[in-house]
Amino acid sequence: VSPPQLTIADQDYPKDSWTNVPASILSQYGRSLHTEPNHPLSITRKLIESRFQNFRHHNDLPGVVTVHQNFDSLGFTPDHPGRNRTDTYYINKDTLLRTHTSAHEVDIFHANTSDGWTLSADVYRRDAVDRSHYPIFHQMEGALTWDRSQYATPGACTEAIRQSFNHLPKHDLVVEDPNPTFHPERNPRQESHHSAAETEIIAAHLKRSLEDMVVTIFTAADKALAASGQNAAESKEPLKVRWVEAFFPHTSPSWEMEVWWRGTWLEVLGCGVIQQDLLIRAEQPNRIGWAFGLGLERLAMLLFGIPDIRLFWSRDARFLRQFDEEKGLRRFMPYSKHPAAPRDVAFWLPRGAEAEGETVIAGTEASTSSAPNAAGGRLAEPSVDTSTHPIFHENDLMEIVRNIAGDGVEDVRLIDDFVHKKKGRRSLCYRIEYRSLERTMTAEEVNGMHEKVCRELVEKFGVEIR
């Protein structure tokens, strides 16, 4: 019988039916990689902070927050899919591991200690297993606001933002930005709070600042690489970014920035004009401004050429000794790759769970991870017979595998999904790539882990292995 308490960083929390934080997550809690000296995530954070000189930088807010902070304070609707237990680690019904650094926005605006601030921290999401997703990653939140009450008229405030915009550094980055700043349906301006002129200038300021941030860090990277005699293979292609319309409950209009890298667009951040209701909630009704949230791993992988997100968690000297703040940026030199050991698991879902034959399974596409959990993907609605077992969700398998194989798993993906018409049952097959970054695993070891995975699927979800 498990104890009715969960202890995290010496603090006890009562468990309830919402509790779903596994031991594998708790064991990594509090490592604070983004402040570990010479860690690539810390180097990346500092590089970005250097672009935001007059900002205040917060780096040590603990990861346990309330449901209110993480969702309600930002205007997430009660039925927002990000709240699902399939996507979020709950400590109990009121407390969770933050899914994004935005969880602290209202508190920081409320404290009002600086116009501009950044906040870097670890965030937690139940998600796919592959080389760019890990259930813990790091975000940097940033915001800049102006206080209308400091100006004689709202127009004077707008003018001050324009002045500030005019002083932002110019750059020759290639930028694709095909859409109007706001669009009544797709990306609305907050009409009851902001004039069109305000929205336009805040948006322009936001976009230019973030473009400049990208230029700053990639230029620093190029210089450092040239100095160390290493040549970035990617640097032959000119740096290119694009702005894509987006939706976040706490900004409007909103965008994502993508960076062109090795032939694909890579999403690196979400941002927008801060919802005025949020600032009102923070008792700053006169402030207006912008906010962004970016994934530090994504940018660090680009800057250092790190091919697998698990490496950030490595305690292996072959990884850690490659990074040195004093010596400047170096490209990561992969050490030998150990062989992969693929194993498939095929199973029938319990009777009744095949009802939703067409259901999309969340996370089978390599989703980018800045939006808190897009569409949730249960394989059946709870209307089916769930008397004996909870309904299987893909993220449950991800977690079973992670708990058993730890960082010895590289990728889990669905390779087959069909409904047997006569039997009236649905079958799924997943391929699990076991591979350690640090050593070669024996076949017995892999088989042992795989058997455990199969057994747990049966025990927890009542599936029938084929």
Binding site for ligand PHE (CB under 6 A): 100, 102, 141, 248, 251, 254, 270-272, 291-293, 370-372
In DSSP terms, which residues pair with 465 in a beta bridge? 347
* CB-based contact 204:161 (threshold 8 Å): no
| Minimum gap (Å) between residue 116 Cβ and ligand PHE | 14
Write the DSSP string, 155-179. HHHHHHHHHHHHTSPP---EEE--S
| Minimum gap (Å) between residue 323 Cβ and ligand PHE | 26
- Cα–Cα distances in Å, from 307 out to 214, 238, 258? 20, 21, 18
* CB-based contact 77:84 (threshold 8 Å): no
Closest to ligand PHE by CB, 52 or 292: 292
What single DSSP character describes residue 374? -
Closest to ligand PHE by CB, 151 or 265: 265
Number of C-alpha atoms within 13 angstroms, CB side, residue 55?
24
| Minimum gap (Å) between residue 123 Cβ and ligand PHE | 7
Closest to ligand PHE by CB, 293 or 305: 293
Give the residue nearest to ligand PHE (CB): 293
| Minimum gap (Å) between residue 86 Cβ and ligand PHE | 17
| Minimum gap (Å) between residue 103 Cβ and ligand PHE | 8
| Minimum gap (Å) between residue 183 Cβ and ligand PHE | 17
Closest to ligand PHE by CB, 19 or 370: 370
Cis before 169 (ω within 30)? no
Closest to ligand PHE by CB, 64 or 291: 291
Strands 240-248 and 174-176: parallel
Closest to ligand PHE by CB, 188 or 357: 188
Instruction: Write the Ramachandran bin of 32: left for phi over 0, alpha for psi from -120 to 50, otherwise beta.
Output: left
Closest to ligand PHE by CB, 270 or 462: 270
**What are 51's two structure tokens?**
């672009």
**173 vs 213: CA distance, rounded Å:** 11
3 state DSSP class of 216: helix
| Minimum gap (Å) between residue 142 Cβ and ligand PHE | 8
